[in-house]
Structure 1
Amino acid sequence: MDTPEELHLRFAETESPVETHAIRNWRGVSVQFSRLKLPTEYEFQWDGNCHYLAHHDLILADGEMEVLGEKPIAAKDLRDKMTYVPKGQTINGWAAPADRMNAFTVVSFDPAAMEEELAAEFNGPNPVPHIYFQDVELGATMRKLARMMGDERKPASKAYAETLGLTAALEMFRLSHEATSQIFTAGRLTAAQIRLLHDYIDQNLAQDIGLDELASLCGLTRFHFARAFKASFGEPPYQYLMRKRIELARQLLLTTKHPVAEIAAATGFNGASQFGRAFRDLVGQSPLAFRRNA
């Protein structure tokens, strides 16, 4: 996906009542998060260039949604409900939200850009729309995405965010094809792949390493890589990267007099505050306290 897909909103009031609006984009997958701070009526539209998956944290006083060519659907309590519409179909609708903090998360994905992952994982008929449905596993992934996208103080790593977006898309295909689909169980990485990853990660800890580039090193799809990595290392790629960064930070705090901000940049964190939170989560104390008590 060269540019992010977006659900278009048109508000009745001239001042847009969007408190938080964020979009992140990776190969084949885009994630949009919007949090609405005022109960202002709005219209929405989606042009079906990609598959559309939305998770709603909404309560409406009124409203309806129409998938082009289908009967409009009205609903009010949409908390933890999801909507999936396949590529090539258009969504139109309007909503009058209740007086509460309402939000939604949209994952759009392009199977052409994700062809390896999808071809390896799924077989079955063409997908059909699913309106206002619930699923435990997919819902948990979408809620994680919402928390990640809505937290402006603690931006997630590229590998973690990309993994969640890709997982949401693949879980939706699992639901769409589960009558005939069987998920392949990935094996472990080879010793050569593990050595390659060790070297690459150690040399690039100051960079925001993504799942796509790590998978490419091993010649695997992102989905197969993530599962094979966990089977080989005992933890997901983003957790491994975080642990390696904190290990390097501990060494630098003990062996240098560099300021915390410089150590944060040298270990791939977006500023001292993000570094401090991650360090406390794993070590149990702040970087300065660790250095002082060593």
Structure 2
Amino acid sequence: MDRKQKFQIHFKEGDAAAEITTAKSWRGVSVQFSRLKLPAEYEFKWEGHSHYLAHHDLVLLDGEMEVVGERPVAAQDLRDKMTYVPAGQTITGWCSPVARLNAFTVVNFNPVDMEEELQVEFNGAEPRPQIYFKDDALGATMRKLGRLMADKNQPAAKVYIETVGLTAALEMFRISQPETTKIKLAGQLSQAQANMVKEFIAENLARDIGLDDLASVCGLTRFHFSRSFKATFGEPPHRYLTRVRMERATQMLAATKLSLSDIAGACGFNGISQFGRAFRDVVGKTPLEFRRQA
């Protein structure tokens, strides 16, 4: 992630630090998650050429945020509130948090890439900043994204977290645009496209396949591919991919003596821990239990 695009935190106490910070980026979208363990006062700043969206799980003794050139906004209870600032503007502020685990998730997204994803051109008025607002649908997506980013020990599959991050960016992009804009919904994949996707997944199952990888096979944007895929297969790409991985894993557990680590790698999982959790969620038992009963 470009440092100029990164949400920057400066603690006033020299030994204070974020308990966890993770960052990921894909074409047109980057995500940063931070969880603050210490009740230490800090200053923050963000500036860049992308749109900025933050979901807050913060409770403050005091603090304020300022979009440079506008009046500062004070706040205390920011749980499940969000902030959106269009590209080209700067945010500064400070926070004095209460003694709890405070966290926030930041999504930066490029407006040009989002127009390309939706395959529409927005000609309305320039979007305005929205400080500490609420939206049920977008809030649910951002909470999910935060949970995925927070789990460093058992990271989610690339295709899943990329889908959630892109969904958050697209939801905010549409919220900030005129309601008169109509987005053409995609239909099903053609039989040729569906076959190409299935073949690509089968041949690359050991890789951490991303949404961009799958969409490129069909020559579609990620937004339209996701909707066409679900209309075709009856489930989103990440669930389909997980199911195919489980089918191969069960076959390998029953028919080979390969180690769990080898099977996890062959099926595209980032280690035994992620493999075991996904296997229990889908099959209802651990890989070893399944192998003993096969």
Q: Shorter-chain-normalised TM-score: which range?
A: over 0.9
The residue type paired with residue 55 of structure 2 is: H
**Which residue does 2:173 correspond to in 1?**
173
Taking only aligned residues, the RMSD between alpha carbons, in angstroms, comes to: 1.5
User: Which residues of 2 match residues 162-241 of structure 1 at below 5 A?
Assistant: 162-241=162-241
- Per-residue CA deviation, residues 136-177 of structure 1 (Å, 9 max, x unaligned), is 110000000010001122201111111111111110012112
> Structure 2 stretches of 5 or more lacking a match?
none
1:64 alignment partner, SS class: strand
Structure 2 residue 9 is the aligned partner of structure 1 residue 9: yes
Cα contact 2:4–2:47 (8 A) shared by 1: no
The residue type paired with residue 258 of structure 1 is: L
**Which residue does 2:89 correspond to in 1?**
89
Identify which range, 199-208 or 148-157, moves more after superposition.
148-157
**Which residue does 1:138 correspond to in 2?**
138
| CA distance in structure 1 between the aligned counterparts of 2:178 and 2:277, rounded to whole angstroms | 40
**Which residue does 1:263 correspond to in 2?**
263
- Per-residue CA deviation, residues 14-70 of structure 1 (Å, 9 max, x unaligned), is 123311100001000000000000110000000132100000000110111110100
Question: CA 1:2–1:243 in 2, change beyond 3 Å: closer, same or farther?
Answer: farther
1:120 alignment partner, SS class: coil
TM-score (norm. length: structure 1): 0.97
**Which residue does 2:44 correspond to in 1?**
44
The residue type paired with residue 231 of structure 1 is: A
1:93 alignment partner, SS class: strand
**Which residue does 1:106 correspond to in 2?**
106
The residue type paired with residue 50 of structure 2 is: C
The residue type paired with residue 82 of structure 1 is: M
Cα contact 2:4–2:48 (8 A) shared by 1: no
The residue type paired with residue 230 of structure 1 is: K
- Per-residue CA deviation, residues 208-239 of structure 1 (Å, 9 max, x unaligned), is 00101111111111100001001101111011
| CA distance in structure 2 between the aligned counterparts of 1:38 and 1:249, rounded to whole angstroms | 42
| Equivalent pairs, count | 294
Structure 2 residue 289 is the aligned partner of structure 1 residue 289: yes
Cα contact 1:4–1:30 (8 A) shared by 2: no
1:18 alignment partner, SS class: coil
- Structure 1 residue 128: Cα displacement: 1.0
1:113 alignment partner, SS class: helix
Structure 2 residue 272 is the aligned partner of structure 1 residue 272: yes
- Structure 1 residue 256: Cα displacement: 0.6
Identity of aligned residues (%): 63
Question: CA 1:151–1:4 in 2, change beyond 3 Å: closer, same or farther?
Answer: farther
> Structure 1 stretches of 5 or more lacking a match?
none
| CA distance in structure 1 between the aligned counterparts of 2:115 and 2:178, rounded to whole angstroms | 18
| CA distance in structure 1 between the aligned counterparts of 2:187 and 2:123, rounded to whole angstroms | 21
Runs of 4+ in 1 over 4 A off after TM superposition: 1-4
| CA distance in structure 1 between the aligned counterparts of 2:259 and 2:18, rounded to whole angstroms | 38
**Which residue does 1:76 correspond to in 2?**
76
Cα contact 1:123–1:180 (8 A) shared by 2: no
